[in-house]
Amino acid sequence: MLAFIVRRIVATIPVMALVALFVFSLLYIAPGDPAAIIAGDQASPADVERIRASLGLDRPYLVRFGEWSWRILQGDLGTSIFTNLPVTQLIAQRIEPTLSLMVLTLIFAVVIAVPMGVIAAWKAGTWVDKSAMAFAVLGFSVPVFVVGYLLAWIFALKLDWLPVQGYTPLSEGFWPWLRNLILPTVTLGLVYVALIARITRATMLEVLQQDYVRTANAKGVAQKDVLFLHSLKNAAVPIVTIIGIGIALLIGGAVVTESVFAIPGLGRLTVDAILRRDYPVIQGVVLLFSLVYVLVNLLIDLTYTLVDPRIRY
């Protein structure tokens, strides 16, 4: 078991190294010469060369990648070209809204999608199943910003139940914080609900055909216990796996959702950085999100033994 954990953690190192190499190359091949930008318009070619040498920009690609990685490992993501602030500081300022949105969406999606998939599988072929799966296809097809504007238009503009846009920090109270995040959470969660519900249904359909389910039914175990205790436990591994893989969807969707609802999070930071071609910021955000994705999936791999005791390493 311990050997497996160590092996699995070691296996993520080359993955992250590849991501880092890609992210570094992004800045390396990005148009625009940083030395010329820092030197300014009046600088002579000799000045630019001197600045280039002092920044170490004249050294070979792999040497620079090594130095850059070393700085990253020490927590230095560089400096934003546009604001001149350290990228880590920019990220720290923007992380709370994004983290709030993603955690709420994760909870919302799992709470809705898993029972939906279980019931759809139980009632397979009936109108309950068909409408749940029709909803899932719709969830895949309607783009996240369309859902966002539609919900905002109905629940904020027409009914005036919830705020249209904006974000309130958690430090100003739980309810004001939650109120602002309800619409973004539902918006971002829809495609995730569709994904999880579909996998849950497919896995449960298989599990429900097993002999032990027939036995449980025959000996008179309550239907809800058969479904949620006996069967769901055995369907847990694929469901937990898709929740982890779906994080990628959530990250991409967060960028858009934050734009629609004017939430000052990492997604807004990314969009602003793109429009200003602020490469160090883009690098930092891509690196951070990829690290989150890899770590979440690492954690999920490690929890398989908890979810399913039959899995032993």
Partner 1 sequence: MTLQHPISAAGAAPAAPVKAAEPGPLVRFGRYLRRHPSVAIGGGLLVLMALIGIFAPLLWTTDPTAISPARRTRVPSELYWFGTDMLGRDVYSRVIYGARVSLLVGFSVAILSSIAGLAIGLFAGFMRWADGIVMRIIDGWMSIPPILLAIALMALTRGSIGNVIVAITIAEIPRVARLVRGVVLSLREQPYVEAAVANGARAPRIIWRHILPNTFAPMSVQATYICASAMIVEAILSFIGAGVPPATPSWGNIMAEGRALWQVRPHIILFPAVFLSITVLAVNLLGDGLRDSLDPRIAKRL
If the CB atoms of residues 23 and 35 are measured against partner 1, the closer one turns out to be: 23
Residue 3: CB atoms within 10 Å: 8
Binding of partner 1 at residue 252 (CB under 8 A)?
yes
Contact 38, 51 (CB under 8 A): yes
Stretch that binds partner 1, among 55-63, 96-104, 224-232, 273-281 (CB under 8 A): 273-281
Contact, 280 vs 288, CB < 8 A?
no
Residue list 102-161, contact with partner 1 (CB under 8 A): 137-138, 140-146, 149-150, 153, 157
Of positions 48, 164, 221, 237, contacts partner 1 by CB under 8 A: 164
Question: Contact region for partner 1 (CB under 8 A) — 51-59, 80-88, 122-130, 293-301?
Answer: 293-301
3-state secondary structure of 155: helix
Nearer to partner 1, 16 or 170 (CB): 16
Encoded amino acid at 85, one letter: L
CA 110 – CA 106 distance, rounded (Å): 6
Helix spans in 40-126 (H) = 45-55, 61-73, 87-122
Residue 233 CA to chain centroid, in angstroms? 25
Query: Which stretches of the chain are assigned E, i.e. beta strand?
Result: none
Q: Which is nearer to partner 1, 100 or 283 (CB)?
A: 283
Contacting range for partner 1; rule: CB under 8 A; set: 172-180, 220-228, 229-237, 269-277: 269-277
CA dist 96 and 90 (Å) reads 12
Grouping H, G, I as helix, E, B as strand and the rest as coil, residue 86 is strand
Q: State yes or no: residue 299 binds partner 1 (CB under 8 A).
A: no
**DSSP secondary structure string, 234-254?**
HTHHHHHHHHHHTHHHHHHHH
Which one of 282, 284, 300, 301 is in contact with partner 1 (CB under 8 A)?
282
Least distance between partner 1 and beta carbon 42 (Å): 28
User: Which residues make beta-bridge pairs with 79?
Assistant: 86
Q: Does 248 bind partner 1 (CB under 8 A)?
A: yes
Which residues from 188-207 bind partner 1, rule CB under 8 A? Answer: 202
Residues 13-52 that bind partner 1 (CB under 8 A): 14-19, 22-23, 26, 29-31
Q: Does 75 bind partner 1 (CB under 8 A)?
A: no
Our CB check for partner 1 shows the closer of 11 and 229 to be 11
Residue owning tokens 């008179």: 220
Q: Which of 216/253 has CB closer to partner 1?
A: 253
Say how far residue 139 (Cα) sits from the centre of its chain.
17
Among all chains, which residue has been given the structure tokens 């069967």?
Answer: 231
Query: In sequence order, what are the residues at sequence separation of 6 or more whose Cβ sits closer than 8 angstroms to the Cβ of residue 116?
Result: 132, 193, 197, 200
Instruction: Using alpha carbons, select from 240, 232, 243, 289 the residue that is nearest to residue 109.
Output: 243
Minimum CB separation from partner 1 for residue 256, in Å? 5
User: How big is the site for partner 1, counted in residues (CB under 8 A)?
Assistant: 51
Q: Does 61 bind partner 1 (CB under 8 A)?
A: no
Nearest distance in Å: CB 268, partner 1: 10
Q: Extract the tokens encoding 313.
A: 């390493």
**Shortest distance in whole angstroms from residue 44 CB to partner 1:** 29
State the minimum distance, in angstroms, from the CB of residue 66 to partner 1.
Answer: 18
Provide the binding-site residues for partner 1, judged by CB under 8 A: 14-19, 22-23, 26, 29-31, 137-138, 140-146, 149-150, 153, 157, 164, 202, 247-249, 251-253, 255-256, 259, 270-271, 273-275, 277, 279, 282, 285-286, 289-290, 293-294, 297
